[in-house]
Structure 1
């Protein structure tokens, strides 16, 4: 697999002033289909995150929050509540509409995590909302003989014996893969991407070379790759120190994207309807 583009994150903010690094945004939807947005929030300064993400709406897609450190509390207007602790994942399907909040459960210390937006196909945008709160112990881990370690959130990953280990998130329409990978210094990671899937590689720690041209990857940088019509192999080479990265992949929808703030639909008219429905309290 070859790298189509490398994107460096930029300083931004969201919610009630939470400072974050925005790596992907919906303006790149055609290139990163079925994904829409990717943020990293990381700070040990309470003022950067303490006001959190007060109640806000979503329609038409899924949000995936992966916590690395700190604690966030989730609540929504469907009666769901969850505690996002280190190593946990929240996979929320907003679908036809949900109003939720994510608020810090700490007043000091490191708050660190990632949020990914995954688009929904037109046929599922008006489904009932759904919510998965996945505790750290539910996420399986796999280690290969060369020292590569993987946490499998979605999709599957095989150990040296070739037996696939499946993540707890299944049955999503974009057939997502979400892996948290640690690679020893100098080692090479290989993974076979499903035919046609878009693949994202996001640097967390260390430096890597991605693809046959060894495109440089480092923290806060993402490599975007396009799989061919047949299964193709992703190659990631670690540098002189151990490294860690996220591997995210999914089946492109190849549908029009109409985006306005927290609403992602297929047409401008559908977005306008989402705004009207939210203002009328129909979420």
Structure 2
């Protein structure tokens, strides 16, 4: 067993069994009606999941591993992201997401209603509250968030738990898990913190790698055109501002879509925001 440090010394250092990673088979539990028993995650199991996270190369792979880790706690969804600035557009808000396994319909409503600036969990992460369940006084006491949290229940996010984590930059990262009913012991919360910190680190590294590879693909003019499109400019307006033809703008946008592997312009903008190519 050896220790590898992946981030500043103030972050946890993880111990990984490289040669003998083993999955611990949890014992069977009798589950009584109305009183579910959620099994604990042992430290050895947690180390196994850390090794799995290290092997991930995409955000989608990270989300699948984290979901499998938190399922015994009753969680069915996870969302991880840095905090957007006040006044950020919908596209910019989406660009702050690092790991996304949230209900699609809820995400659509959440961003269309601009709930990010009313969400009490976002407020508390900004303030640096270390961790909290969504039913604690700090959350329910914020009136602005009552509607947000109430609507979240309609999408299977009845109970949740959020941690505030450091990032490689000045902003905090919010790590949230949710489901119909959560059960987290102090030991499980401690082990979850290890997984959460490492998942955030891997997500940031994956984004950095993608950003570097994409920067080499997009030209300065393509990034400029995509930035203006993200700010709401129409193609004809962009052409007028840059002093080039509509046909040239169409060509730049088509090139951006192809290089980013996107379905349409909105998807290209979302991917560019997520990769940090535009702001």
* Fold agreement, TM-score > 0.5: no
Structure holding more strand per residue: 1
Structure holding more helix per residue: 2
> Normalising by structure 2, what TM-score?
0.30
Task: Report the structure number with the largest CA radius of gyration.
Answer: 2
